[in-house]
Amino acid sequence: MLTMNYTYRIDPDTTQQTELLEWMETCPGVYNYALRELKDWIASRKCQVDRCSLEKEYIIPADEPFPSYHRQQNNLPKAKKQFPHLGKVHSQVLQTTIRKLHDTWEAFVKRGRGFPRFKKFGQFKSFVFPQFKNNPINGFTIKLPKIGEVPINLHRPIPNGFKVKQVRVLSRIRGTQWYVVVTIESDISVPDAPVHGRAIGIDLGLERFLTASDRSFQERPQFLKSMQGKLKLLQRRASRKQKGSQNWEKAQIEVARMHHRIANRRRDFHLKTAHQLCDRAQTIFAEDLNVKGLTRGMLRKDCVDAAFGQFLSLTEWVCWKRGVYFAKVNPNGTSQTCPNCLATVSKGLEVREHHCPECGYRTHRDHAAAEMVLDRGLENVVSQGLWGRETACQVGLSGVYDLDKWRGAGIPNREAGKPAL
C-alpha cells in the first residue's frame, strides 16, 4: 500500500471562510471538554482509599469506566442535543478531534511525558475529513462536506490508480490563506531503493550549509537574518497598536505573512538542494545529527534558521521519490578523524582546515568530515551486505518524478562534475 500527501492552495469565499473559522473555534472546545473529562477521571483515582481531601472531591462513581475514545465518541450525539452549535460541524471532524486527543494520551502513556494540554484560542490550525465515498476533486474545485465546493489550485494532477483517502484543511497566516493536504493511496507496492551507483557523503554546517565528499559545496542562505530588518519593523508597528483592534489584527497578519514567506523560501531552498544531490549520485549518506541539541547552544539562532532537521527529512523523501538510496551515519568524531589514515586529529571550531600530522593530508575541515561520512556509510552497507543488491521495479506514476527513474538493474554511473548550485 502506497500513501502520499499532496498539498494544494484553496480559495474559499467569504461565507465559506467564516464557516471554516467557526469550525476552528469549535474543535478546540470539543478537545478541551474531552480532556477535562479525562483529567477529572484521573484525579478522582488519586485519592487514597481511607481518606478524602478536605478541600474538594470529584463526584465520580468508583465503577465509572475510563473515558476512552469510543465512549467519548459515542457521547457526541448527546452533546449535540445539549450544545446545538456542534451540529454545524461535520460529525467525523469532531470524531477525529477526539481521536487526536487520545493519540496524544497514548503517546504520553508510552513515553511517560508530554501530558495533553488544553488548547488556547488560535492553536487549532487544521481539521480532518477522514474518508470520502467518491473523489471530492472535480476539475478545479474540491467538495468538502457541509462546506460546499471550494476552488482549488490543482497545480499537479492526482496520479492514475490513486484514490483520495482523506483531506486535511489547513489555516495559514491567521486564517487569510487556506490549504488542503490530500492523502492519496494505491495498492501499488514500491520497494526501497537499493544501494547502487555513485555514492557521496554530505556534511552540514554553518560556514557552508552543505559540503559533499566530491569537493562541491553550497553556501548557507541566511533566510531570517536577511529579512530580520523588515520583520522587526513590522513587529514594532504591531506592538504600538491597541490589542484587539482592527489595526492590530492587520499588523499581526503582516507579521505572520513575513514569517510564512521566510519559511517558504527556506523550504524551497531545501527541496532544490535535495534534488541537485539526487542528480549527482544514486547513494547519499548524511550525519544523524542531534537537531534538538543544536537548538540549545550559543549558535542556536543560526541552527534554527538553517533548519538541518527539515533538510534531512526532505532529502530522505526526495531520495525515496527518485529511487536514490539514503542513509544516516553516526556523526561522532567525523570532523576529528582523518579520512585518509583514520588518525584522530583534534581541532576546535575555529580551525577550518584539516591537516593530518600522521599522513600529511590537507583539505577543508567540512570536506574531510564529508569524506568520513562517506567512509562510514560504505562501511555500514558493506557490513550489512547491501552493496551490489539490485531490484527491478517498473512503476510509472505521474506527478512524482516517476518513482522508477533511477530504479532497476544495470544503471550506469554518471560522470561526477561540479554541480551548478
Report pLDDT digits (tens) over 127-149.
999 999 899 999 899 999 999 99
- Euclidean distance between CA atoms 261 and 247, whole angstroms: 21
Q: How confident is the model at residue 416 (pLDDT cuts 50, 70, 90)?
A: very low
Least confident of 228-242, 246-260, 385-399: 385-399
Rounded to the nearest 10°, the torsion over CA 69, 70, 71, 75 is 100
Residue 26 has pLDDT above 60, yes or no: yes
Residue 330 has pLDDT above 50, yes or no: yes
Facing residues of 210 across strands? 204, 218
User: What is the per-residue pLDDT for 51?
Assistant: 64
- Pull the grid cell for residue 98: 477526539
Residue 102 has pLDDT above 60, yes or no: yes
Residue 386 has pLDDT above 90, yes or no: no
- Pull the grid cell for residue 250: 492587520
Contacts of 354 (CB under 8 A, 6+ apart): 335, 338, 345, 347, 361, 362, 363, 364, 365, 367, 368
- Euclidean distance between CA atoms 191 and 199, whole angstroms: 20
**263 membership: H or E segment, kind and range:** helix 246-280
- Amino acid (1-letter code) at residue 263: A
Q: How confident is the model at residue 56 (pLDDT cuts 50, 70, 90)?
A: low
- Euclidean distance between CA atoms 285 and 324, whole angstroms: 11
Contacts of 330 (CB under 8 A, 6+ apart): 287, 288, 376
The predicted-structure confidence for 197-226, as pLDDT tens digits, reads as follows: 899 999 999 989 999 998 899 999 999 999
**Cβ atoms within 10 Å, residue 355:** 14
User: What is the per-residue pLDDT for 52?
Assistant: 64
- Euclidean distance between CA atoms 255 and 236, whole angstroms: 10
Q: What is the model's pTM?
A: 0.83
